[in-house]
Amino acid sequence: MITVYSAPDITALMSARLALEAEQIPFMTQGEGVQDLFGFGRMITGFNPITGPVEIRVRDEDAERARAVLAELADDA
pLDDT tens per residue across span 34-61: 555 555 555 555 666 666 778 999 999 9
Residue 28 sits in a domain whose CATH number is: 3.30.70.790
Looking at every residue in the chain, the average pLDDT score rounds to 82
Binned at pLDDT 50, 70 and 90, residue 74 comes out as confident
d(CA 26, CA 52): 22
d(CA 46, CA 68): 24
Domain, as residue range, for 7: 2-76
Q: Using alpha carbons only, give the angle 45, 3, 58 rounded to the nearest 5 degrees.
A: 125
pLDDT tens per residue across span 12-37: 889 999 999 999 999 998 776 555 55
Give the number of domains in the chain: 1
Query: CA–CA distance from 67 to each of 22, 43, 45, 52, 64 (Å)?
Result: 14, 28, 23, 20, 5
